[in-house]
Amino acid sequence: MAEVVLDHVCKKYGNFVAVDDFNLAIPDGEFCVLVGPSGCGKTTVLRMIAGLEDVTGGKIYLGGKVINDLPPKDRDIAMVFQSYALYPHLNVYDNIAFPLKIRKLPKREIEERVLRAAKILGITEQLEKKPAELSGGQRQRVAMGRAIVREPKVFLFDEPLSNLDAKMRVQMRVELAKLHKMLGTTMIYVTHDQTEAMTLGEKVVVMNKGRIMQFGKPDKLYDKPMNLFTAGFIGSPPMNFLTCRLVQKTDGVYLERENFSLRLPDGAEKVIGNFAGVDVVMGIRAEDIYDKLFAVGATPSNTFRVKVDVRETIGSDVFIYFTIAGTNFVARVMPKSKAESGQEIEVVFDTQKLHIFDKRTGERLW
């Protein structure tokens, strides 16, 4: 079993806390993605798991055993870095074979493993080449090959695709997912790219400032972010936010601010009625705002007259940008919407899809 567990793990550099009270269980065979902005501690977490960095506090378990004091070479964990770190003077075959030669495996076995890895990665034709003769994507495959031949219990990936161009990144993403299916090995993957995280991860862990903000299945993080940070980080374009106040009126609960009033659906009252008077942040995703001409369920309370600042067409998606109460919004509307830049239209908010966060704590209220 190669379950990885981090139990109250923390890492300090002097007084600076890089990773703070990190608790996470990654079951055997799972593809787990750590995602968060630059400097939030992703690499540090991986390096602690690999044994390249001491743990300041807490415990790391691999397959049920504490590995805090186990040297990296005894951990049975392979790490793939952003920089491929290939040996320029060795050809592809020898680069992949390198970790096995160090372990002094028999020549036959080395050859078998290298050829198998090369086949999985589709680089059998490149084995004689030197790294300088390869494309970025091929180099990254060689780096992965070097990890695969070790047949580790756990793979760690630190932004392995970020040196590739956009198209190659998408292609390698698909191959990584296939690789995981084929090998069934526990994989922990670090990225700051939320799209990559959402498409690859069985479990996605959103980090900020050394802490876990939320973890779960990608659709759960998207549909029900538990705090403002996760709400703003997951999703593209980012969620629209508007600071308001929760106001209890005779006919229901309203979100209000100057030049803005929106009645929440029946039932909201029960959940957040007792937060009346609290400053909140309303969140709504671009696809939950409609051009009124194509909306069902428009009412005077959820409909707003706006001026379209910009209409943007990206392939099959049409985005319109506008402001409400002095705040920028973006809506993803039906391609057949005729809303053009400069035009006044009415937009409808799907109030069932609203997210409401406590402005002070950032916690989800509704």
Q: Phi first, then psi: what are they for 47, rounded to 5°? A: -65, -30
Q: Which of 38, 250, 259, 313 binds ligand ATP (CB under 6 A)?
A: 38
CB 80 within 8 A of CB 157: yes
Distance CA 317, CA 337 (A): 11
**From 31-39, 65-73, 146-154, 224-232, span contacting ligand ATP (CB under 6 A):** 31-39
For residue 37, the 8-state DSSP code is S
Q: Does residue 141 belong to the site contacting ligand ATP (CB under 6 A)?
A: no
Q: Which of 4, 31, 43, 242 binds ligand ATP (CB under 6 A)?
A: 43
Given Mg ion, ligand ATP, none, residue 39, with its beta carbon under 5 to 8 Å by kind, binds: ligand ATP
Size of the site for ligand ATP (CB under 6 A): 12
Q: Which of 22, 41, 147, 365 binds ligand ATP (CB under 6 A)?
A: 41
In three-state secondary structure terms, 360 is: coil
Q: Does residue 194 belong to the site contacting Mg ion (CB under 5 A)?
A: no
Burial letters for 286-300: b for 16+ Cβ neighbours within 10 Å, e otherwise? Answer: bebbbbbeebeeeee
Min dist. Cβ of residue 39 to ligand ATP (A):
4
Strands 16-26, 4-13: pairing kind:
antiparallel
Q: Does residue 191 belong to the site contacting Mg ion (CB under 5 A)?
A: no
Q: Does residue 40 belong to the site contacting ligand ATP (CB under 6 A)?
A: yes
Min dist. Cβ of residue 197 to ligand ATP (A):
12
Task: Find all residues with CB under 8 Å of 133, minimum gap 6, and list them.
Answer: none
How many Cβ atoms are within 10 Å of 182's Cβ, its own excluded? 10
Q: Does residue 44 belong to the site contacting ligand ATP (CB under 6 A)?
A: yes
Q: Which of 4, 9, 19, 43 binds Mg ion (CB under 5 A)?
A: 43
Residue type present at position 212: I
Distance CA 78, CA 98 (A): 13
Q: State which of positions 11-30 bind ligand ATP (CB under 6 A).
A: 13, 16, 18
What binding mask, one character per residue, do residues 174-193 give for ligand ATP by CB under 6 A, x or -?
Answer: ------------------x-
Burial letters for 75-86: b for 16+ Cβ neighbours within 10 Å, e otherwise? Answer: bbbbbbbbebeb
Min dist. Cβ of residue 82 to Mg ion (A):
8
Given Mg ion, ligand ATP, none, residue 258, with its beta carbon under 5 to 8 Å by kind, binds: none
Please choose, from the candidates 256, 260, 246, the residue with its C-alpha nearest in 3D space to the C-alpha of residue 347.
260
Shorter beta-carbon distance to ligand ATP: residue 45 or 333 = 45
Q: Does residue 126 belong to the site contacting ligand ATP (CB under 6 A)?
A: no
Shorter beta-carbon distance to ligand ATP: residue 84 or 357 = 84
Shorter beta-carbon distance to ligand ATP: residue 41 or 131 = 41
Between helices 166-183 and 136-148, what is the axis angle to 10°?
20
Please choose, from the candidates 2, 276, 24, 290, the residue with its C-alpha nearest in 3D space to the C-alpha of residue 155.
2
Residues in touch with ligand ATP (CB under 6 A): 13, 16, 18, 36, 38-44, 192
Residues in touch with Mg ion (CB under 5 A): 43
